[in-house]
Structure 1
Amino acid sequence: MKVGIDKIGFYSPKFYIDTSDLAIARNEDPNKYLIGIGQKKQAVIPNTQDVVTMAANASYKIISHDDIDKIDLIIFGTETGVDNSKSAAIYLQNLLSLKSSARAFEIKQACYGATAGLQMAKEYIINHPDKKALVIGADVARYGINTPGEVTQGGGAIAMIVSSNPSIASFDGDSTFHSDDIMDFWRPLYSTEALVDGHYSNNVYVDFFKKTWKEYNDKNQLSIDDYSALVFHLPYVKMGIKGLRAVLSEATEDKQISLKNEFNFSKTYNENIGNLYTGSLYLSLLSLINESSNLKYGDRIGLFSYGSGAQGEFFSMKLEKSFKNAKSINDLNNLIANREKLSVEEYENIFNQWLPIKNIDIDLNWQRDDSTFFLKSIKNSQRIYSSRLEEK
């Protein structure tokens, strides 16, 4: 029996900033951001969107009535949770009117949370092949105005339905993983902005990839020739390039060219959205599937997941017959193309309106947010969510 990803949905808000404009405002050469970091555009997240609403907007696009009947596991990977106790998955379950006879919980391990959820969902569906699981990777990446990490901000949500007999990709054997207690990236409880040792984090990322890559291939008697493409966790594009370069020497010249070409397809969405933390790897997978014209049924795709602090995992999936979805391609291309470009000043104003970590009552300007689901207000320390479906 095959188990894997049956559907993938994506959402990011309608605002973005051009990184060339950001570079000029920060007195930097635009190529430092465009080439040195590998980012063209960056999503800007208004305070009417958080991980719950973005996850709901991503999920709503792909969930059918049949899915609602069968989803009884909801796993929410995020490092931008809205409560230290109540999981984002419970809010999501209510917003999407999913059945209450379900397990719903949140996972946190930096950018690795969605992968942990995906692997848990895999095991669950193996034992319950008539059921489905909804796995979320949703985050808002914030480093602060005029900081070294500013160009690697962004945000959005990936929603994946895991099932037996999947349409997109099936798991291909057991994964390999490695963890260690290190301080390359963290976000203290008192802060909405992350702290990072960028150079150290880059080195650990590549080290974890090489370790899990070798162990996986040794374990499964595979080589680089057995992969049609490799996709990476992409907090920014250049990080994935460093990972790919670490193993290219194992391939022939023709294979190197092929893998580089497929990587270019896999980075298209990420370089226009920015950092999704838990969703970055799966946005890269979605970009590869939608953008590449070279892939075919049965191709093996290698995936490397990394979460600072740190956890790394490598696994592979094989593409199924219906992995190419014209509606998904059209919807996502429209989402990216029809966003509203902000000036640097407008971006800074929105960034500074992000809700602080303190007890406040506030009514938000939700009327400007045309998303299906949005955050309407905070009253008595409770988040009040709503939707266009209710407001009509």
Structure 2
Amino acid sequence: MDIGIERIGFYTPNSYIDIVELAKARGQEPDKFTIGIGQDKQAVPAIYEDAVTMAAESADQILDDSNKKDIGLVIVGTESSVDESKASALFLMDLLDLPENVRAFEIKEACYGATAGLQMAYNFVSTNPGKKALVVASDIARYGINTPGEVTQGAGSVAMLISSTPQILKLENKSAYMSRNVGDFWRPTFSKTAFARGKFSNQIYIEFFETLWKRYQKEFDVTADDFKAMLYHIPYTKMGTKAMRTLEGKISDEKYAQLQAEYKYSIQYGREVGNLYTGSLYLGLLSYLINSAVTPGDELLLFSYGSGAVGELYSAKVCENFKQYIHVKNVQSLLNNRKKISISEYESIFSQSVRDGESVDPSVVTGEFYLSEIKENERLYKTKQ
């Protein structure tokens, strides 16, 4: 039985800042951010947007009455949870009008959460072949104004419908994974922004990739030549480049050059949006499927990493007529029609939030779903009419 991604949807906020303007405002050389980090734009969420609203936006693109009734599992992978008890997935039940006879919950493990959800969805569908699973990666990456991590912020969501009738990507149930208690990145419950040991985190990321690639080759008897492309978790696009460099000199120069060329297609959208945490790998996948010359039957290798740390390397095969099932024009329109805001506007938005007892004017909402108010410390959401 084939199992994999039947549909994929993407959302990012309507506003963004220019990374060159951010560099100048911070007294930095623009090349440090655009080349050294590898970013061009950064999404800026509105005060009425959070992990729930963005998850609803991306999932709504791929759901309709015919597939909603078949959903038996809903998982949101996020490290931007809005509640320490109630799962983001439960808010989606009403916003998306999903059936009650589902398991709905949230997974937290830094940027790995959505991959954990994807693998869990695979197992669910394998034992319930008539059912589908909705897996959503939704995050707001926040490090703070004028901090070292500011340039690697971002926001967005990627939703994937997993079923026994994959039309975009077939998961091959081949993976290598590892977990280790590492203090490279964390966000205590009292803090809205993350703490990170940047260089150390890069080191662990690369170490995990090298270790898993060796294990994967040995367990499944493969080489780099078996894959059309290698896709990476890319909180900033230069990070994947660093992992790929570990292959240099270990595979043929021709294959290394080809993998480098393919990688550039996977980072096009990441450069435009910024860090999606759990969604970064899957935005890279979407970018690659839309922008590259990949063909049905091509094998892809995907590297997922979540600080703390968990890593997984797994393979997938591109389905026949896959582009027919991706809303290419919608993705391009979403990115092209965003509004650029000034650095001062971004700083003002960053410091704002909806407070208890306050409500949001629906006329300012640009999307379909929004945080409408906080009442007695309860977050209430609405669909824009």
TM bucket (normalised to shorter chain) is over 0.9
Residue 326 of structure 1: CA displacement? 7.3
Residue in 2 aligned with 1:248?
248
Is the 8 Å Cα contact of residues 186 and 194 (structure 1) preserved in structure 2? yes
Is the 8 Å Cα contact of residues 74 and 135 (structure 1) preserved in structure 2? yes
Is the 8 Å Cα contact of residues 209 and 303 (structure 2) preserved in structure 1? yes
Query: Structure 2: which 5+ runs fail to align?
Result: none
Residue in 1 aligned with 2:74?
74
Residue 370 of structure 1: CA displacement? 1.6
Residue 267 of structure 1: CA displacement? 0.2
Residue in 2 aligned with 1:372?
368
Bigger shift: residues 297-306 or 326-335: 326-335
Residue in 2 aligned with 1:332?
331
Provide the rounded CA distance (Å) in 2 between the counterparts of 1:83 and 1:3. Answer: 32
Q: Relative to 1, partners in 2 of residues 1:179 and 1:249: Cα closer, same or farther, differing over 3 Å?
A: same
Is the 8 Å Cα contact of residues 168 and 325 (structure 2) preserved in structure 1? no
The yes-or-no answer on 1:123 pairing with 2:119 is no
Look up the equivalent residue of 1:257 and give its one-letter code: A
CA displacement 1:81-103 (0-9 Å, x = unmatched): 11111100010111100000000
Is the 8 Å Cα contact of residues 152 and 235 (structure 1) preserved in structure 2? yes
Provide the rounded CA distance (Å) in 1 between the counterparts of 2:249 and 2:362. Answer: 51
The yes-or-no answer on 1:386 pairing with 2:382 is yes
Provide the rounded CA distance (Å) in 1 between the counterparts of 2:246 and 2:129. Answer: 38
Provide the rounded CA distance (Å) in 1 between the counterparts of 2:242 and 2:125. Answer: 34
SS in 1 for 2:173: coil
Provide the rounded CA distance (Å) in 1 between the counterparts of 2:350 and 2:86. Answer: 25
SS in 1 for 2:322: coil
Residue 174 of structure 1: CA displacement? 2.5
Query: Structure 1: which 5+ runs fail to align?
Result: none
SS in 2 for 1:250: coil
Q: Relative to 1, partners in 2 of residues 1:365 and 1:192: Cα closer, same or farther, differing over 3 Å?
A: farther
Residue in 2 aligned with 1:360?
356
Residue in 2 aligned with 1:314?
313
Residue 327 of structure 1: CA displacement? 5.5
Look up the equivalent residue of 2:143 and give its one-letter code: Y
Look up the equivalent residue of 1:331 and give its one-letter code: N
Look up the equivalent residue of 1:379 and give its one-letter code: K
Provide the rounded CA distance (Å) in 2 between the counterparts of 1:251 and 1:324. Answer: 31
Residue 71 of structure 1: CA displacement? 0.5
Residue in 1 aligned with 2:230?
230
CA displacement 1:343-370 (0-9 Å, x = unmatched): 0000001111135xxx722222442122
TM-score, structure 1 normalization: 0.96
Look up the equivalent residue of 1:387 and give its one-letter code: T
Q: Relative to 1, partners in 2 of residues 1:365 and 1:345: Cα closer, same or farther, differing over 3 Å?
A: farther
The yes-or-no answer on 1:263 pairing with 2:260 is no
Provide the rounded CA distance (Å) in 2 between the counterparts of 1:288 and 1:237. Answer: 13
CA displacement 1:153-176 (0-9 Å, x = unmatched): 001111000001200111123211
Provide the rounded CA distance (Å) in 2 between the counterparts of 1:352 and 1:214. Answer: 45
Number of matched residues?
Answer: 385
Please provide the CA RMSD for this pair.
1.1
Is the 8 Å Cα contact of residues 231 and 263 (structure 1) preserved in structure 2? yes
Provide the rounded CA distance (Å) in 1 between the counterparts of 2:2 and 2:325. Answer: 23
CA displacement 1:91-147 (0-9 Å, x = unmatched): 011110000000000000000000000000001111111110000110000000000
Provide the rounded CA distance (Å) in 2 between the counterparts of 1:311 and 1:384. Answer: 33
SS in 1 for 2:344: helix
Q: Give the alignment of 1:1-392 within 5 angstroms.
A: 1-293=1-293, 295-325=294-324, 328-355=327-354, 360-388=356-384, 391=385
Look up the equivalent residue of 1:286 and give its one-letter code: L
Is the 8 Å Cα contact of residues 356 and 373 (structure 2) preserved in structure 1? no
Look up the equivalent residue of 2:312 and give its one-letter code: E
CA displacement 1:202-233 (0-9 Å, x = unmatched): 00000001111111111000000001001000
Look up the equivalent residue of 2:373 and give its one-letter code: S
Q: Relative to 1, partners in 2 of residues 1:215 and 1:169: Cα closer, same or farther, differing over 3 Å?
A: same
Provide the rounded CA distance (Å) in 1 between the counterparts of 2:160 and 2:210. Answer: 27
Look up the equivalent residue of 1:363 and give its one-letter code: S
Look up the equivalent residue of 1:307 and give its one-letter code: G
SS in 1 for 2:207: helix
Provide the rounded CA distance (Å) in 1 between the counterparts of 2:173 and 2:160. Answer: 19
SS in 2 for 1:66: helix
Residue 248 of structure 1: CA displacement? 3.3
Provide the rounded CA distance (Å) in 2 between the counterparts of 1:93 and 1:73. Answer: 11
